[in-house]
Copies of this chain bind each other. A is one copy, B any other.
Amino acid sequence: MLTTQRKAMLLERLSRDGRLVASDLAADLDVSEDTIRRDLNDLAAEGRLVRVHGGALPASPTHVPLARRQLMQTPEKARLGKAGAQLIQRGQVVIVDGGTTHLALVAALPLDLHCTIVTHSPGIAAALEPFQRVEVILFGGRLFRHSMVALGAATVAGYSGLRADLCFLGVTGVHPEAGLTTGDAEEAALKHGMLRAAAEVVVLATPDKIGTVSPWGVAGLDRISRLVTQGDRPNWLPPGVEHSDG
């Protein structure tokens, strides 16, 4: 049997059965378990499935709807979210970007918080449902699937007409020279608009984003008011930028 053919069969079985068990496959296809393992690792490296102990599971978040992923909060993100939540004061108008870190922020908000939250992320908006005293403004647009946020002229226009107190900005790179960067051009432009619409800008950054650069620039580090990370303050952070350890 050809290697490629075997891998195709693995994917076929995976979508049919919803899972793959390495030992069963070795017996079925009459090859060693090592071969199966190698195949599974290859396919996992291509992102076509997710490797687990004993076999593999589907890669696509098919039957894992929003609710599940909302709860998939690492303790790190929860701490970041908690640190961010403490920065919001009663009555403020706050812009909240999309992303799982900001979902953690919402989860850390006190239930009786009284403020206005502006977002272009349907996930953030939906998560704000339990907060009776939070006014939620949602900007629409065409949904950018990768990060599940609304993008488009209407979105940009919405932020350009806004004067907010605080903005929680999500980026995929925080670098001493490249500054704040993200993976999509249009998203970068929108984030720049969000940044300009707020008096203070806070970036919640997990450790994997510190010191890294993504293709599209959003703004320089001196444009943000505070960086929340895990660990000590990076020594390259401009003096005007505050820092907290989440």
Question: Chain A interface (Cβ within 8 Å of chain B)?
Answer: 2-5, 11, 15, 19, 21, 46-48, 52-55, 57, 59-63, 65-68, 70-75, 78, 107, 111, 120, 122-123, 125-130, 132, 135-143, 145, 148, 150, 154-155, 158
Please report the C-alpha to C-alpha distance between residue A2 and residue B66 in the assembled complex, in whole angstroms: 23
Given A21-B2, A60-B107, does the pair A66, B142 have CB atoms closer than 8 Å?
no
Q: Which residues of B contact A67 (CB under 8 A)?
A: 15, 66-67, 70-71
Please name 7 further chain A to chain B contacts, defined as beta carbons within 8 Å, in addition to the given A66-B129, A122-B123, sorted by A numbering: A11-B68, A62-B107, A62-B130, A63-B130, A129-B145, A132-B145, A140-B140
A-B contact pairs, 14 of them (CB 8 A): A11-B68, A11-B71, A48-B71, A63-B70, A63-B127, A66-B130, A67-B70, A120-B140, A122-B123, A122-B138, A123-B126, A125-B150, A132-B145, A137-B142
Residue of B nearest to A76 (CB): B47
Residue of B nearest to A67 (CB): B67
User: Could you say how many copies of this chain the assembly holds?
Assistant: 2
Most chain B C-beta atoms within 10 Å of own C-beta, residue among A11, A66, A155: A66
Of B55, B57, B63, B143, the contact of A137 (CB 8 Å cutoff): B143
Contact call B154/A52, Cβ cutoff below 8 A: no
Q: Which residues of B contact A61 (CB under 8 A)?
A: 129-130
Residue of B nearest to A21 (CB): B2
Contact call B136/A66, Cβ cutoff below 8 A: no
Of B46, B75, B127, B135, the contact of A65 (CB 8 Å cutoff): B127
Of B63, B75, B122, B145, the contact of A122 (CB 8 Å cutoff): B122
CB distance from A62 to the nearest CB of B (A): 5
Of B5, B66, B136, B158, the contact of A126 (CB 8 Å cutoff): B66
Q: Which residues of B contact A46 (CB under 8 A)?
A: 72, 74-75
Residue of B nearest to A143 (CB): B136
Given A66-B127, A111-B62, A127-B65, does the pair A57, B4 have CB atoms closer than 8 Å?
yes
